Structure 1
Amino acid sequence: MAPTMQTEPDGVEVVMSAREAADLERPPLLVLEPVTAFLDAHGLGTGPLEWARIGDGQSNVTYLIRRGERTFVLRRGPRPPLPRSTHDMVREARIQKLLSAQGIPVPEILAVCEDESLLGVPFYVMSHLDGAVITEDVPAELDSPQQRELTSRAVVDTLLQLHRVDVTRGELANLGRPQGYLRRQVERFSGLWDTNTTRELPRVHEVAQWLGDNVPETQTVSVVHGDYRMGNLMFDAHASARVSGILDWEMATLGDPLADLGYLVATHADPQSTPTIMELTPVTRRPGYWTREQIVEHYGRESGLSVNALPWYEALALWKSAIFCEAIYTRWLNGERPGDEEFGPTLEAGVPTLLEQAATLMRPL
């Protein structure tokens, strides 16, 4: 369903001028006059703006922007003050430019704004892809059993394509520090729990201990997307089950490719999985879509990598998701997510469920 475009500021999330923004207790997300001037400076459309907030992300903010005959997507970080290391729009845009040159399907980056005076944070503008993101609904042309199977195959084949990109040379080689990636993930997220929670959940420490004691050996290094799932893929509106764009690159780095596979599998809804707050594309329970086992089998066969230790990577994905969601829950409890009447309340039980599912994967590898 196409989003409803807005033309009038609401005075809360969207305002007209920097002066209006300065008068608000909480900074707005979109300030129309400076954004319009920025688009003018880069030759991106003419006339007044129309906008709609899009995407299911709980972190960075994405707007569909229509200006005259042209349509763009503006992506920015959340309101400050939040750790910029996880909301680096300039880096995110750079990664997509580098991967586009390697044939990876990503939106075209049209302009990057590092000047924080415009919106309070850096942002970038990218092309709008004509297609569909599959979450709770499926386009009719992709909803036959055959197309569902082809869609699942496309999800895994696109991940394989990403993981085959050569990261040993050029600018991509400087994207991250792959040595010790998995252990750093465990250490980093362990340190985030106590600063982002108001309750005692012993499972988080039990899982952390098991993860730290059983870190598998990385078999190869690749670009790791960090949030690879069907809901972060755009499917071409004019082709059969073809991925036209991988979205949301905020957590991308160099590391172990099985981290992406573990996340994809752990958050994939199939008839045998227990629903969690991280299963954001529930339609894949329908007949025709691949099961978790089929995803793993295809990836392992085509990549040549051993997937014997995949339960560790799945546990890592669920545990990290629990810690990330707990931070959202704490902000919701503190009244820092006004208007969130759906996701925030689910986290009281949703976070412990993620931790319990992670704990079921704690077995000898």
Structure 2
Amino acid sequence: MQSAGSRHHGKKVLISGSAGFIGGYVVEELLAKGYSVVGVDNFSKYGKVAKSYDNNPNYELIEGDCRDVDLLTRLLEDCDHFIAGAAMIGGISYFHTYAYDLLATNERIIAASCDAAIAAHKSGGLGKVTFLSSSMVFESTPEWPSYEGQERSVPPPLSSYGFQKLAVEYFARAAWDQYKLPYTIVRPFNCVGIGESRALGDQEILSGNVKLAMSHVVPDLVQKVLKGQDPLHILGSGDQVRHYTYGGDLARGVVIAMEHPDALNEDFNLSTAQSTTVLELAGAIWKKVKGTDVPLRVVSDEPFEYDVQRRVPAIDKARQVLGFEATTSLDEMLDEVIPWIAQAVENGTI
């Protein structure tokens, strides 16, 4: 059988944080392209979540801690690629609840990941590490759009999460400088999709009459509208600008960046070109759930300290070098996400 995947026969990828939100989409994309995939995750965020590909013969899931250098070194022995995605991560409420843990845990994860990758590359098998960074490296920028390289000329991020993601990029470059470990850095912007549950450690924060079920804005607003909140509570003015990017598009970008010869030792923003304010997002969700007969009323709650007002990426480099564009519209994303969250609300998981 000649399939799209057959050209990758025998190529093996280790992905850390494979049970995470973006990780799940990346595993799906890799399997669709015919890779053999090993995932490693300690299920610290969501607990064990069943995935559609769990029984795929080309997928193996290892329950383990990505701070364990010996484990990662052993898993990388026969891998061609390593996608380093494991991190303690969450949206805005996470940054405040776990300010120290985000920094300490994620530093240990990235150091262990690099130690293992350096050893695996030295012994000959591992070709490259693709590091998952974040749009938060641009947290303190005074100008937009944020372009690749700007993260080293603007003030450093104020949140410990953003600062640590910037450190991930320094780890990648330092491992190349000293050990010639090849790398690519990718920065996803505001991932939207299905598969995000209530995080096990999420603090219950009351937002109007409904608890913030999740720390990301799209699922949070969807569940509040579904639960009948009116007026709808949003954090801050609603003028915050984001680029909501579909998880499937991001995964495609990550895998293209992993494979592409011109991505070697380069960094890429992965994002939709579309800017959307939180108010526009709320309006789109409201219309899809309530129709046009019920007018949207909003109440502004006190925003979090690190609620960046604008997050707007330059996307030219990914388009020109990788041929990557995120094509899924917000409308299409909401058509997928709303029924999924409605089901989760019904099941009591959100």
TM-score scaled by length of structure 2: 0.30
TM-score scaled by length of structure 1: 0.29
Relative contact order: is structure 1 or structure 2 higher (C-alpha 8 Å, sep ≥ 6)?
Answer: 2
Q: Which has the larger radius of gyration?
A: 1
